[in-house]
Structure 1
Amino acid sequence: MSGHDTLVVGGGIGGLAAALALTRAGRQVMVAEQAPQFAEIGAGLQLGPNAMRAFDRLGVHAAVIDAAVLPARAVIRDAVTGGELTVLDLGRPFRARYGYPYVVAHRHDVLSALLDACSAEPGLELRTGRTAIDVQERDEHAEVTFADGEVLTAGLLVGADGIRSQVRRLIDRSPPRFSGHVAYRGTITPSQLVVDPPPDDVTLWIGPGIHLMQYPVRRGELYNQVAVYERPASEREPRGDAEEFHAAFSIAHRKVRESVALLDPHRDWPVHDRDPLPSWTTAHAVLLGDAAHAMLQYLGQGACQALEDAVALADAVSSQPHCQDRARRQYEQRRVARASRCQTVARPWGDLWHTQDATLLALRNRVFRLRRPDDYTDLDWLYADPAKDAA
């Protein structure tokens, strides 16, 4: 049995961000990642100004920007007719309002920026191939047992181990909730694009029971595509079906159908989330990212909220160096309500994208068409700097 000051279980974006922030707050940190190497599943990642603010705090803002794309606009289109519904200007007015840009990036590039920063920290140990199979709370520490029989203890255990977190089992043993939505993801080269959007736009096609998201990543060298369909209510098992997938998109505009045809129909990701938890902590453990607040993708906030968690946790630990109980309460006070709001708002927002109700669809499209590209009022709660609001 080996003891540690701080143990982070999970080496994804949230886990590495937390490890980096906590090390700089004065903790001795070990990261235990179950995969044989640090890697991210999937390709594209949307990073709002709140995420870029966190990256700035972590000192990796420039590295993330260097490998990413700063889109000029976000465009929502009708997936059936192909018509434009609304535009969000992501240029100068947006950046002036929130202090940071909206960024789209490849997940591997973001993880690499964090991994490089973590590797440069002498007090931070990175270990791979460590699969946690059991977590226990003891009087003086938390205890993690790994698949090979190794047992590690920690004064502070950070559960950044995803939606099926072992650390979360200290607080909640309920299973994740299948949304009924199934995603198919992949990247293509610009030459494969069957639509002709301006090169830096984020384009979202929405229709009854379906949507397709497209945007450039890796300095525009690749385009990320994510197509999602809703399984029929009678077939709500957590899996995808290639025939169902193509049938769902058969109603779509030709350009959408041709884009979706470029995705591998045998690589499906059933989409899960969780209900909000009132507490994310025990005496010696805290949850972070999807382990704490797994959410649907419709706000583009999964990674963004994990990054906010990482910074907030380090701030709490730094401000309460001699009282972990106060630190964890401070962390919860800052984060639980905000992340829970993202969880609960994402569900109906996805329902609105996919609505099959003719009246609601007509109303939604009318409201979208009436809004101005520089109307950011519905985004302030997500992107505005809370420190400025407090001042």
Structure 2
Amino acid sequence: MKKQVLIAGGGIGGLAAGIGATCAGCDVRLFERAREFREVGAGIQLGPNVVRGLQAWGLQGSLQSVAAVPEALQARSALGGHALARLPLGSAAVQRYGAAYLTIHRADLHQLLLEALRRHADVHLNLGQAMESLRESDGVVTLRGADGKLVEGDALVCADGVHSRLRTQLLGDGPPRPTGHLAYRAMVRQADLPQQLRTSEVTAWLGPRLHVVQYPVRRGELQNLVVIVQGPAPADMERWDHAANAADLESALAGTCSALQDLVHGVTDVGAEWRLWPLADRPPLRSAGEMARGLVALLGDAAHPMRPYLAQGAGMAIEDAAELQRALSMHDLEMELRLRRYALNRWQRNARVQARSRRNGRIFHATGPVRWGRDTALKLLGARIMDLPWLYQGDGSRASSL
């Protein structure tokens, strides 16, 4: 008899988990709090490590139809505007790693995963059903909804995001912590911008206590911009997502180069909206027990929320789902051991990415002598610093035994 896997969360991680579980031969019941599947307008960078996983699910054609293929990754000074380093991408990334480096609209990635999941017969998608608590007993895990409804399954995957209530119940470690960084995000049609403000590359502008990232999405038709500055977060972190005050953003960028200020002004001039998010994370994982206990597994941001300075948040969720598929396919093992195998094979790599993301943030926002040293190292070593074989070549953290 097929095992029934319950999935809490209908974001990118939840949908990817659903694909992995169905490909492993399980029945899937997915529960999403919202009344419709939708994602906000933001961009995602997909390294070759992630693209290979999506290709393995037969999604190469879908990716090609909606993603952009940046020509390069470059670092520039937010103060002087000059180039610091450049790493060729495009065909060069394919030659190095067997897959492209892509940039994609979050809504486009969400939609192609949803379409892929809906093609499987053994999937039941449930909208408008918030799952509030879990209980495990006698080889069965039970979810309780906000309406009191009980749902039983052979395993549960919690993919309900950085503010996962189910994680809090499972691990008892409280809410995520504010990072002290705020992210201003905007999406704008490239055709609406002056030619000099359009881009076909991923550019990171590095400045004291701030940085800006811009890159194309949706076949290059749109440009995604993210400005991250250091500042206090509001008390209601989970729901604090609203239109940002462009004047506050412009004030935060005072003193940066004219090219960067022109870019930010250009977004406002064409009527695009800035939105504001406070960033939250958790310390890097310390053991496999923080990713799976009993019949319950954590995946994506519910397991390992991370700062965005390595551009791997969505990527690690997709890698998690691919490993979940491999573990669930071990039909000779009891379910608890399958999930234990999943956690053993993922926690160290996720912890490394979490730690490197935090380190990158300190480097991106460096001041004084550290900033000068960073800029000098980038100028001297360039692509050797920006390239990340340990990350892009794939998951090298596999555990050898239970």
2:173 is aligned to 173
2:330 pairs with 1:331: no
User: Secondary structure of the residue that 1:270 maps to in structure 2?
Assistant: strand
1:383 is aligned to 392
Partners in 2 of 1:84 and 1:309 — Cα distance? 35
1:252 is aligned to 256
Partners in 2 of 1:249 and 1:327 — Cα distance? 49
8 Å CA contact 1:195–1:255 kept in 2: the answer is no
The CA deviation at 1:324 is 1.3
Partners in 2 of 1:82 and 1:97 — Cα distance? 29
Partners in 2 of 1:385 and 1:266 — Cα distance? 34
Letter in 1 for 2:339: R
Partners in 1 of 2:204 and 2:346 — Cα distance? 29
User: Secondary structure of the residue that 2:154 maps to in structure 1?
Assistant: strand
2:35 pairs with 1:31: no
Instruction: Give the TM-score normalised by structure 2.
Output: 0.89
Aligned ranges for residues 112-151 of structure 1 at < 5 Å?
112-151=111-150
**Which segment drifts farther, 242-251 or 190-199?**
190-199
Partners in 2 of 1:47 and 1:188 — Cα distance? 20
Letter in 2 for 1:345: R
Partners in 1 of 2:71 and 2:190 — Cα distance? 17
Aligned ranges for residues 1-391 of structure 1 at < 5 Å?
5-169=4-168, 170-193=170-193, 196=196, 199-231=199-231, 242=245, 244-261=248-265, 262=267, 267-277=275-285, 278=287, 279=289, 280-356=291-367, 358-373=368-383, 375=384, 378-386=387-395
Change beyond 3 A, Cα 1:192–1:259: farther
The CA deviation at 1:91 is 3.0
User: Secondary structure of the residue that 1:110 maps to in structure 2?
Assistant: helix
Letter in 2 for 1:252: T
Letter in 2 for 1:289: G
User: Secondary structure of the residue that 1:319 maps to in structure 2?
Assistant: coil
Letter in 2 for 1:380: P
Change beyond 3 A, Cα 1:40–1:198: closer
Letter in 1 for 2:152: T
The CA deviation at 1:185 is 0.8
Partners in 2 of 1:182 and 1:376 — Cα distance? 26
Instruction: Give the TM-score normalised by structure 1.
Output: 0.91
Letter in 1 for 2:253: F
Letter in 2 for 1:84: A
Change beyond 3 A, Cα 1:299–1:365: same
Deviations 1:80-124 (A, max 9, x none): 111111101113332112111100011111111111111111001
Unmatched tracts of structure 2, length 5 or more:
none
**Which segment drifts farther, 85-94 or 9-18?**
85-94
Change beyond 3 A, Cα 1:5–1:132: same
Partners in 1 of 2:224 and 2:281 — Cα distance? 22
* Count of aligned pairs: 383
User: Secondary structure of the residue that 2:87 maps to in structure 1?
Assistant: strand
8 Å CA contact 2:9–2:159 kept in 1: the answer is yes
Change beyond 3 A, Cα 1:317–1:128: same
User: Secondary structure of the residue that 2:329 maps to in structure 1?
Assistant: helix
User: Secondary structure of the residue that 1:174 maps to in structure 2?
Assistant: coil
Unmatched tracts of structure 1, length 5 or more:
none
Change beyond 3 A, Cα 1:23–1:236: closer
The CA deviation at 1:380 is 1.1
8 Å CA contact 1:320–1:326 kept in 2: the answer is no
8 Å CA contact 1:17–1:58 kept in 2: the answer is no
**Which segment drifts farther, 289-298 or 269-278?**
269-278
Change beyond 3 A, Cα 1:377–1:348: closer
Instruction: Report the identity percentage.
Output: 35
**Which segment drifts farther, 263-272 or 59-68?**
263-272
Letter in 1 for 2:250: H
User: Secondary structure of the residue that 2:345 maps to in structure 1?
Assistant: helix
Partners in 2 of 1:21 and 1:317 — Cα distance? 8
Letter in 2 for 1:77: R
Partners in 2 of 1:226 and 1:330 — Cα distance? 36
Deviations 1:4-43 (A, max 9, x none): 8111101111111111111111100011111111122342
Partners in 2 of 1:265 and 1:124 — Cα distance? 37
Deviations 1:299-352 (A, max 9, x none): 000000000000101101102444112211211121000001111111121111
Change beyond 3 A, Cα 1:236–1:131: closer
Change beyond 3 A, Cα 1:245–1:317: same
Change beyond 3 A, Cα 1:125–1:8: same
